Amino acid sequence: MLAAGADAVVHCGGLDGAVPLARALRAAGFRGPRLALQPVLEQEFPRAAGPAARGWIIGATVVDATTALRARAFAASYRSRYDTPPPRYAAEAYDANGYVARGLRALDPGGDLRRGLTVRLPATVHPGVSKEIRFRQSDRTPSEHRLYLYRADADDFRFLGDYRGAMGAAVGRGGWPTTSSYHSPPAAVGAMAPRHRHQRRLAIEMLTCSP
């Protein structure tokens, strides 16, 4: 990989592959950007990989409720009630329950529950504490996909924010180009690619990409 002139690595596999890859890159002296997807967003990654994990950028659809501006009220309420900060995915779990509850409230009390939800939920808009939940009526897919970036530190991850505004913080000066939308893991790979594709090479370890 180094002989081929690659200046960035994107790991599309899981945690088991990310740890030895991080160690191997560090041992080989690789200093380019190293990126991975949501399956690697586990504390086991920096703990198991040690110093080799530092600086890795992780793309994920989950927010850090303790720092994301939209989720701060939720985080404060959670901390007040449970005397601990909300764990990862807590805001999304809260939103999922709120979304279903909102759909249930709009149903005919005497109607068929399952059939009613099948029709009502795709038309339900829920503001959410992590993000708005809204589906396109044409194909019932989410109206907006959000991708957030995290950077691995000594023993955990630091939330950098929405990738459209966090790319500079993720890679420092120079950076990579951003795009106006995020649709799938391959799109994330494209958004994080080096700026001059005809001058640089991107090494991608395609193991098992997340859905």
> What is the pLDDT, as a whole number, of residue 78?
96
How confident is the model at residue 146, as a pLDDT? Answer: 81
69 is written with which tokens?
A: 């501006």
Q: What is the rounded distance in angstroms from the CA atom of residue 131 to the CA atom of residue 49?
A: 31
| The pLDDT value given to residue 174 | 38
In tens digits, what is the pLDDT along the chain, a chain of 211 residues?
777 778 899 999 999 999 999 999 999 999 899 999 999 999 999 999 999 999 999 999 999 999 999 999 999 999 999 999 999 999 999 999 999 999 999 888 888 888 888 888 989 999 999 999 998 888 777 777 788 999 998 889 999 988 887 765 555 533 443 333 333 333 333 334 444 343 344 443 433 333 3
Query: What domains, with CATH codes, occur in the chain?
Result: 6-61+148-205 (3.40.50.2300), 64-144 (3.40.50.2300)
Rounded CA-CA distance 158/148 in Å is: 11
Question: d(Cα 55, Cα 33) in Å, to the nearest integer?
Answer: 8
Q: For 41-80, b where at least 16 C-beta lie within 10 A, e where not — what string?
A: bbeebbebbeebbbbbbbbbbbbbbbebeebeebbeebee
Indicate the SS3 state at residue 205.
strand
Distance CA 46, CA 51 (A): 8
Residue 176's pLDDT is: 42
Q: State the pLDDT at residue 83.
A: 97
- The C-alpha atoms of residue 96 and residue 57 are separated, in whole angstroms, by 27
Cβ-contact 106, 124 below 8 angstroms = yes
Lookup result for tokens 């990738």: 163
